[in-house]
Amino acid sequence: MINIHISSQTLELIIDKSLYKIYQISSAKNGLGEKENSYCTPRGRHKISKKIGDGLKENSVLVGREFTGEIFNESLFEQYPDRDWILTRILWLEGLEEHNKNSKDRYIYIHGTPDSTKLGKTGSKGCIRVNNKDMVEIFNLSHEGDEVNIIG
């Protein structure tokens, strides 16, 4: 189980009903919300619908949930400064409540982000950004179908 606390910008990984570890995250710059095209992070109960990127190197670039063949670096960042960088792994979330049932169609993920991304404060376009090394650990310790609670 994963609990995401928006107020503290943290993700708690729960294994066998015990707190395993707390990670820093970055949620949506636009705050909380469930509307299409709002670029907000949706609240409530979700599940991991799909795990994407197993075995990819850290900093592997994913676009449309596919590995582009690129490994993120500063020159790539300078070349594409407006790209929303989705790196390393994706946990694709599916909403389990009436108000957030569109989360999967909105492509709400927990995903890796460039090391230069400031975590511990908002900044994403709706997803939950996590340090790449942490993302690999969270990915390896979670399973499709695991519950994810986004607490706002």
Q: Is the dihedral of CA 129, 94, 44, 101 positive or negative?
A: positive
User: 99 and 46 in contact (C-beta within 8 Å)?
Assistant: no
User: 81 and 100 in contact (C-beta within 8 Å)?
Assistant: no
DSSP state of 125: S
User: 83 and 28 in contact (C-beta within 8 Å)?
Assistant: no
| Per-residue pLDDT tens digits for 4-62 | 999 999 999 999 999 999 999 999 999 999 999 999 999 999 999 999 999 999 999 99
The CA distance from 151 to 42, in Å, is 9
| Per-residue pLDDT tens digits for 50-99 | 999 999 999 999 999 999 999 999 999 999 988 899 999 999 999 999 99
The single-letter code of the amino acid at 67 is F
Hey, what are 19's tokens?
């707190």
The CA distance from 27 to 53, in Å, is 21
Domains, the chain, with CATH or none = 2-151 (2.40.440.10)
